[in-house]
Amino acid sequence: MKTTYQIALIPGDGIGPEIVAEAVKVLKQIERTESVQFEFSEVYAGGIAIDKFGEPLPDNTLTTARLADAVLLGAVGGPKWDQNPSHLRPEKALLGLRKELGLYSNLRPVTLISGMEARSTLKAEVLSGVDLIVVRELTGGIYFGEKKREKTAQGEFASDLLIYHEHEIERIVHQAFSIAQNRKKHLTSVDKANVLESSRFWREIVERIAPEYPDVQVNHMLVDNCAMQLLLRPSSFDVIVTENMFGDILSDEAAMLTGSIGLLPSASLGEGTKGMYEPVHGSAPDIAGKGIANPAATILSAALLLRHSLGMETAAQKIESAVQKVLSQVRTADLAAENEESVSTQEFGDRVVAALSK
């Protein structure tokens, strides 16, 4: 008897549909070899939903995501919608899904894939031993605080409120400590406590929780220093826990340790097993429709979906090994050296499927 799982697919905009299609191919191959069946429901969010339905996150999309066991998302956004008023902006969909599904924890593992060192901007000796994870708070902070634009007698002003409640910090910090317990037992909490009150609050809470995890060594680092240390001594990090915007920025930076942002997956989790899985990168409008996007980050996000939402660790590892194997043979355009041949998005996906069937 096969277990059936409902997977909501939200391809989104730009390269989203191209990369999600490859991850779906891979999941369909998993269906052939494991005792599972996936029922995929494809729904719209982001710019495409604005065009079709006049809103970035239609009710049907949210309901489908709520009812699913897990959500696989491509990316949303693009220049077509850049000048839209705030309620018609594609990122509203992403932030809305994260908030409505209660996905407060965004895990962004940064793992070096053998052979990719040459594509990193750093020297091989600096990269040696890099294996870190960014645990980013995902439903609080400045992305969710009140936004204002007002004309006053002194001129116009704009503001974004950065607010964190105690319980929001506590739950992500607990999660980061327990992740560290299962890794190298080293947690770096990143903040800007020399300037921001919300960061001083964050630091106090980390200090208060730390004694509950005596086996984990914790240190605090200011975010500007962290941005620098990620390039200077990336292998000194194990688990990085940080607030929403810092985690967003630091994880794009950390992606380049691996050679391309096209390689970095992510899992967004809450209290239950429901999760949303998406590449760290955006909709890459500059390469959309050309068939050259790297689908690895989305395929690896599908592996995280199997691991975290469906408890299919072995299948997740099989996908990860298949991606590694394919990357040892061919490269997509983002990873190819000058004058080196590259494979298309589709061919990369086909090769991962072929590697899984062996």
Ligand X SMILES: NC(=O)C1=CN([C@@H]2O[C@H](COP(=O)(O)OP(=O)(O)OC[C@H]3O[C@@H](n4cnc5c(N)ncnc54)[C@H](O)[C@@H]3O)[C@@H](O)[C@H]2O)C=CC1
Ligand Y SMILES: CC(C)CC(=O)C(=O)O
Q: So which residues are the catalytic ones?
A: 143, 192, 224, 248, 252
Which residue's C-beta sits nearest to ligand X? 282
Instruction: Work out whether 38 is an interface residue with ligand Y (CB under 6 A).
Output: no
**Under rule CB under 6 A, residue 248 binds ligand Y:** yes
Residue closest to 269 by CA, chosen among 69, 138, 109, 103? 103
Q: Which does 143 bind (CB under 5 to 8 A by kind): ligand Y, ligand X, Mg ion, none?
A: ligand Y
Residue 159 marked ligand-binding: no
Cα-to-chain-centroid distance, residue 108: 5
The entry of ligand Y, Mg ion, ligand X, none that residue 334 binds, CB within 5 to 8 Å by partner kind: ligand X
| Residue placing its CB nearer to ligand X in the complex, 187 or 288 | 288
CB of 281 to ligand X, least distance (A): 3
Q: In what order do the strands lie in the sheet with 265-269?
A: 36-42, 3-12, 70-75, 275-279, 265-269, 105-111, 131-137, 239-242, 186-191, 217-222
- CB of 91 or CB of 170, closer to ligand Y: 91
Site for ligand Y (CB under 6 A): which residue of 143, 177, 237, 348?
Answer: 143
Asked whether position 248 contacts Mg ion by CB under 5 A, the answer is yes
Residues 6 or more apart whose CB falls under 8 angstroms from that of 188 comprise: 218, 219, 220, 221, 226, 237, 238, 239, 240, 241
CA distance 147 to 124: 43
Residues 6+ apart with CB under 8 A from 158: 147, 148, 149
State yes or no: 17 annotated in a binding site: no
Is 286 known to sit in a ligand binding site? Answer: yes
- Does 48 count as an annotated binding residue? no
- Give yes or no for residue 144 binding ligand Y (CB under 6 A): no
Question: Per the annotation, does 85 bind a ligand?
Answer: yes
Residue nearest to Mg ion (CB): 248
Give the CA dihedral 80, 85, 91, 94, nearest 10 degrees: -130
Contact map string, positions 207 to 246, toward Mg ion, x by CB under 5 A: ----------------------------------------
User: At closest approach, how far in Å is the CB of 297 from ligand Y?
Assistant: 12
The answer to whether 331 is annotated as binding is no
Backbone φ, ψ for residue 8 (5° rounding): -85, 130
Answer yes or no: is 82 a known binding residue: yes
Q: How many residues bind ligand Y (CB under 6 A)?
A: 4
Asked whether position 169 contacts ligand Y by CB under 6 A, the answer is: no
Taking the C-alpha atoms of residue 192 and residue 194, their distance in angstroms, rounded to an integer, is: 6
CB closer to ligand X out of 19 and 355: 19
Which amino acid type is present at position 63? T
Asked if 253 interacts with ligand Y (CB under 6 A), we say: no
Tell the smallest beta-carbon distance from residue 334 to ligand X (Å).
Answer: 4
Q: Which two tokens stand for residue 171?
A: 């739950």
Counting contacts by CB under 6 A, is residue 81 touching ligand Y? no
Q: What is the Cα 293 distance to its own chain's centre?
A: 17
Q: How far is CA 141 from CA 36, 79, 136, 276, in A?
A: 38, 25, 11, 19
CA quadruple 277, 278, 280, 283: dihedral, nearest 10? -170
Binding mask 82-121 for ligand Y (x = CB under 6 A): ---------x--x---------------------------
Total residues binding Mg ion (CB under 5 A): 1
C-alpha distance from residue 206 to each of 16, 108, 183, 209 (Å): 36, 20, 18, 5
Which segments are annotated as binding site for substrate?
Answer: 98, 108, 136, 224
Contacts with ligand Y, residue ranges (CB under 6 A): 91, 94, 143, 248
Contacts with Mg ion, residue ranges (CB under 5 A): 248
